[in-house]
Chains A and B, each alone.
Chain A
């Protein structure tokens, strides 16, 4: 069974640009969550999507947005990039969503560097 796939793995952007990251969950999983990982703050929750609906949203500015498609694939977008947005962005899928057991299956992440 293929795991969670995230693309791109690495990218470099400059301040003010925007970026779109993609996540394909494990086949059959309907929930996709996004986390931002930085050395100082650990893993911070961005949002969760379940069956194309945003179920939960973390404490991030409106520049961070996401969506989920009918095939459960998800994208997140960050507009007007700032230096502080440099981080590893992790996508995680689960069968029924975070309201269940809490078991998440993570991808390898997309490492974003903002110059």
Chain B
């Protein structure tokens, strides 16, 4: 059974600071995703990582994937209040009929 673990689950940080969210998974994966969810809203796709060593950046967020370590990171640079949200990673494995397994989410609060 595929397991996906995120840490930390809660993160409170000051504006301007950097931090990293970690996503570990338990078996070989085909794809890894990062999503953002605002309160009361659905998921917004941030990144799709398809291969070992993949790195993608959008604004203050950068995601990377190490398939050998079964680890993805979401790095936040110079956080701003607008980044406050819950971030989920999710993992696909080919044999799982296209289903994704989600981590528990990291709730990020950026304080002024």
B is a partner of A = no
Chain A interface residues toward B at CB < 8 A: none
Chain B interface residues toward A at CB < 8 A: none
